Structure 1
Amino acid sequence: MDKFTTLTGVAAPLPIVNIDTDMIIPKQFLKTIERTGLAKGLFYEMRFNEDGTEKPGFVLNQPAYRKAQILVAGDNFGCGSSREHAPWALLDYGIRCVISTSFADIFYNNCFKNGILPIVVSPEDLEKLMDDASRGANATLTVDLEAQEIRGPDGGRVAFDLDPFRKHCLLNGLDDIGLTLEKADKISGYEKKLAEAQPWA
C-alpha cells in the first residue's frame, strides 16, 4: 500500500448527501476481484448516459476536475452495502482523500485498508472547503496528514482529528498484511519455539 504523507491536488466538489456504494461503483462492475480497471465504473450512472457518452454536467467530466485527487462530498458518504470495490474504484481513478461531515462505518474502515484518507470535518469547515473546491482550475487543496490539517488555496487551514493508529498505518503504508509482516520476526520466533516444544505438531 502506498504511503500517505502530504497530498496536494485538485479537489472536486460533490455536494450530494447519502452517496452510497452503489452510486460509487454500480453492481455490474463487481464481477472482478482485481483492484485495477475499476476507474471506468466510478460514479458510472452519474458520469455517463445510457449510450456511454459523458454527462458534461458531472463534476469529474469537467476539464478542471478530470484529474482530481480529492473529493469534497456531502454528509453520510459511502453508505449502503459494504462493497470494498468502492474504495478500489476511487483509488483506481486517482482519489486519495475524501472529505465529508460523516462516513458510513464500513466504507470508512475500508478506505484506510486501501490507502485512502477519509477526513471528517464540521459542517462549517465543509462549507469552506466546498467553496475552495468550486474554483475550477484553482481548486487545489493540500492535505498534510502528519500535521492533521487541510490548507486551502488562499492559505486557510482546517484541522482534523484522526485515530493515532490509523494515522500510523497511512503514514507508513501499512495495510493488514503490512501490519502482520512488521511482526515477522516475532512470528518466526514463536513458530520455532513451538516446533521445538511440540515437534509432533
Structure 2
Amino acid sequence: MQLIQETPDLSAYLAADDVIDHHHPLVRETAARLAGQAADSYAYARAAYVFVRDAIPHSADSGDPRVTWRASDVLEKGTGICHAKAHALAALLRAEDIPAALCYQRLTHDAGTGHALHGLVAVRFHGAWHRQDVRGNKEGVDAQFSLSGERLAFAVDVESSEVDYPVLCAVPHPAVLRALKDAPDRPYLWEHLPDAL
C-alpha cells in the first residue's frame, strides 16, 4: 500500500502535543529504559512496539472500563483501546527521534453491526513508512513488528465495506480524539467510535 503523508514536513511526525506527549517524564523514562536495552534505532522501535502491544492490555480484552487517550496516561494506567495504544507507541518512537504517524482502518464493528475505526501507527525507516498494529494479540490475532511486509491484526475485507486508509496523520483524527475524550467509560466508547474518516 502506498502511504500518503498529510504534510510533507517530516518534523510534524516528531512533534509533541497534548496527546502524543513525549515530553512527559513517564514517556521519557519509559523510552530511556527501552533504549538502554536496544543496540540501534530499529531494535528500539521493535522493543517499544512489543512493550506497548504486550505490556499494556487492550481494554476490551481485559474488561477494563477506563478510557485513556493521552500517551502518558496509557503508560501510567496500563490500559487503552487501539487508538490510545497507538498514541503511546507514537510518543515512545518520537521520544527517540523516530518519525511516527497515526493511520486508520475502517473495520466491521466487534458487535457485528456497522463499522468502527481501528488505530495503527506507521514508523519511518530507510526512507519508507511501515504500518504497525499494537492492538494486542489474542486468539485469532497475531500482529508483529515488521519492516518487510505488514503483519497487522486485521486484514481489510472490501466486500464488507472495510477500508484501509492510506493517509499518515501527524495528529489523531479529530473524530477519534473527540470520541475518546467524551466517553465516560469503555463500554460507552465502544458504541460511539467513529465509523469512517
Give the structure with higher Rg (CA).
Answer: 1
The answer, yes or no, to whether TM exceeds 0.5 is no
Q: TM-score range by the shorter chain?
A: 0.3 to 0.5
Scaled by the length of structure 2, the TM-score of the pair is 0.32
Scaled by the length of structure 1, the TM-score of the pair is 0.32
